[in-house]
Structure 1
Amino acid sequence: MKTTAQFLITICSLFIVFSCSAQTNETFAPKVVYKTEDLMVTQISANAFEHTSYLQTNDFGKVPCNGLIARDGNETIIFDTPTNDKSAEELIKWIKEKLNCKIKAIIPTHFHDDCLGGLKAFHKNGIPSSAYFKTIALAKAKNYEVPQNSFSKSLHLKLSTKHVTAKFFGEGHTKDNVVGYFPSESIMFGGCLIKEIDATKGFLGDANVSTWSTTVEKVRKEYPKVRMIIPGHGERGDSKLLDYTINLFKKQ
């Protein structure tokens, strides 16, 4: 039978192990692991990477556009393509050659160029694509490259031993914007529905401003324990990005 002292030592040891493990996960220092003029990849956790490519616009100049790479074992799933086929080919090559991983799927989170501008390159490389059914309809209407597989409300894709999800919560930046989530890392890809801190309202040509706040409130309720959020443009952050977006579009 253990003495009181031995029992306390065991409890303390377990506490230290779990504390260190949790701290390591929460304090992972993001680092740029690949960078060229057209593409940057930043590792943001043990199994997640943010990819950033660039879109030249008339109103906002050269705009950095983010996406998420979720990894488990030797498999990856990507949210949003880089902005064009050249940058997409570059990302595909990096994942295959440097991460030594297979790309199981690409998921554009809405129909704009910053989400599916490089979709043709993924299809050319035999990588299947999935998107919300409205994204597919809008891509067809615009004569863009069209995602291959559709879902009506939410998508659940297996990633080796883990999984990722994509879900439509309502209109905001567009009629079709969905949110990606990587549960094992507690990382959300908010796409253009979610704004970085201090961002302006941005491009509203396809937006539903009246429902934007309500949509993001639903997202916040669905993911109360989210640890990190990647917006479509700008700096990643925590749940404060949800609060900021809600207040930005809240009716005065």
Structure 2
Amino acid sequence: MAPTSYFFAGAAVLLLVLCTSSPVSASLAAAEEAAPPLASDRIKHIVVLMLENRAFDHVLGWFPGVDGLNGTQFNLVNSSDPNSQKIYQTPNSPNINQCDPNHGLPATSYKIFGATAFAENNFTVPTMGGFVDFELNKDGNNACNLMTLQYLSFTPDKLPILSTLASEYVLMDRFFASLPGPTWPNRMFFMAGTSSGLTETFPWYHDEPGLLFPTKTIFDQVTEAGGEWKVYYNDTPWELFVGALATHPEHMHSLGQFFDD
């Protein structure tokens, strides 16, 4: 039976569900041929590759067939003025970004809902119209200005590996981040279904002593169900601030161990 796989793009998460046919007894063989086993009976491993945050339109907006970009999307230089200059989305992203746009919760909310809605605290209609406005007018004169004026994204040929994965697996173009903000609160949503009220990454980058994420995670649930799990890291294992991992370091392994496994 062919593998069943899924590819999620949105919160920088790649989920591959690798399946294999399970053996059946002779007495069930005929029934199995008539009715294939449930997908849950065929799952062998679930591998989650978690990368840095990126917007779907930024990396896959030009991928054929998705609800993405077509060259007509634009931002106004001043999102409160309908007559201000239009900056159109272009597929010209460089390989290396020269700036780190503000992606905290307030900044991202401004970018998603626009200046007027942000000022009125009205977060009901996401116009996606405040990205250029914020970087040019609210965040000061910084390295992001030139990038913002081009309002950049990638075409499939610029990201061959990601585009190949998108071609070979199911691509979800409406898989949204749980919180319109920085990295770690969203990673907590992935691991625990909540960030326990945290909206910024700040605590874990400033060595606040004794700060462990207390909420029950998917790792705890897998353990309770009798399953096995591992976390592989490439450089710094930031996941160690999660209680289930900090108290069970035997589950933490370097990325090289993943390839050995």
Question: Under TM normalisation by the shorter chain, which class is it?
Answer: under 0.3
Higher relative contact order (CA 8 A, sep 6+): 2
Bigger Rg, structure 1 or 2: 2
Q: If each structure's strand is expressed as a fraction of its own residues, which one has the higher value?
A: 1
| TM-score, length-scaled by structure 2 | 0.27
Q: If each structure's helix is expressed as a fraction of its own residues, which one has the higher value?
A: 2
| TM-score, length-scaled by structure 1 | 0.28
